[in-house]
A and B are shown apart, each in its own frame.
Chain A
Amino acid sequence: MSYTIPIGPYHPALEEPYKLELVCEGENVREAQLQIGFNFRAIELIAQSRNVTQNIALFERVCGICSNVHTLTYCLAVENLLGIEPPLRAQYIRVIVAELERLHSHILWAGAAAHILGFQTLFMTCFRLREIVMDLLERISGNRVNYAMNAIGGVNRDLTEPQTIRDGVRQIQKAVEGLILPVFGRDPTVRARCADIGILTRTDAIAWGVVGPTARASGVTQDIRQAQPYLVYDRLRFSVPVQESGDVLARVLVRALEMVESCRIIEQALDQLPGGEWKGQLYVELPPGEAVARIEAPRGEVFYYLASDGSDKPLRVKVRTPSFVNMPAVRLMLKRATLADAPLIQASIDPCYSCTDR
Chain B
Amino acid sequence: MNIEEIRQILGIEGTPIEKADGIWWHSLGLEVRRMAQYLVQAEARLITITALAADEAECRLIYHWDCQGNLWHLSTLTQGKTIDSIAAICPAADWIEREIHDLFAVVFNGRETPPLVLRAGDPSGLFIANGHVGQESLQ
- Interface residue ranges, A against B (CB under 8 Å): 36-37, 40, 42, 44-49, 80, 206-209, 222, 227-228, 290-294, 301, 303, 305, 307, 309, 311, 313, 315-316, 318, 320, 324-325, 327-328, 357
Contacts and interface: CB of A to CB of B under 8 A. Distances in A.
Nearest to B90: A207
B118 A209 contact: no
Secondary structure of the A side of the interface?
A: mixed
B133 A46 contact: yes
Contacts of B38: none
A293 B91 contact: no
Contact of B91 (A40, A222, A328): A328
B126 A315 contact: no
A100 to B, nearest CB: 26
A311 B62 CA distance: 22
A305 B60 CA distance: 13
10 contacts: A37-B115, A40-B117, A209-B46, A209-B91, A228-B69, A309-B137, A311-B137, A315-B137, A324-B48, A325-B48
A309 B116 CA distance: 29
B47 A49 contact: no
B50 interface: yes
A6 to B, nearest CB: 15
Nearest to A42: B126
Contacts of B95: 324-325, 327-328
B102 to A, nearest CB: 8
Nearest to B102: A37
Contacts of B45: 206, 209
A309 B70 CA distance: 26
B135 A37 contact: no
Given A292-B73, A293-B21, A325-B48, 16 more contacts: A36-B116, A36-B117, A37-B118, A48-B138, A80-B21, A207-B40, A207-B91, A209-B46, A209-B90, A209-B92, A222-B69, A227-B69, A292-B21, A294-B47, A315-B138, A324-B48
Contacts of B91: 207-209, 328
Nearest to A308: B137
Contact of A49 (B19, B48, B118, B134): B134
Interface of B: 19-22, 24, 40, 43, 45-48, 50, 52, 62, 64, 66, 69-71, 73, 90-92, 94-95, 103, 115-119, 126-127, 132-138
A328 B69 contact: no
A325 B48 CA distance: 9
Contact of B126 (A45, A227, A294, A301): A45
Nearest to B20: A80
A313 B136 CA distance: 10
Secondary structure of the B side of the interface?
A: mixed
A301 B47 contact: yes
B134 A305 contact: no
Contacts of A294: 47, 71
Contacts of B52: 307, 315-316
A37 B47 contact: no
Q: Which of A42, A44, A222, A307 has the most CB of B within 10 A?
A: A42
Contacts of A228: 69-71
B33 to A, nearest CB: 16
B134 A48 contact: yes
Contacts of B115: 37
The 5 closest A-B pairs by CB, nearest first: A209-B92, A48-B134, A37-B117, A320-B48, A49-B134
A241 B70 CA distance: 21
A40 B127 CA distance: 13
Contact of A328 (B24, B94, B132): B94
Contacts of A292: 21-22, 64, 71, 73
B56 to A, nearest CB: 15
Contacts of A36: 116-117
A306 to B, nearest CB: 10
A87 to B, nearest CB: 18
Nearest to A220: B45
Given A37-B116, A208-B91, A328-B95, A45 B50 contact: no
Q: Which of A227, A291, A305 has the most CB of B within 10 A?
A: A305
Nearest to A325: B92
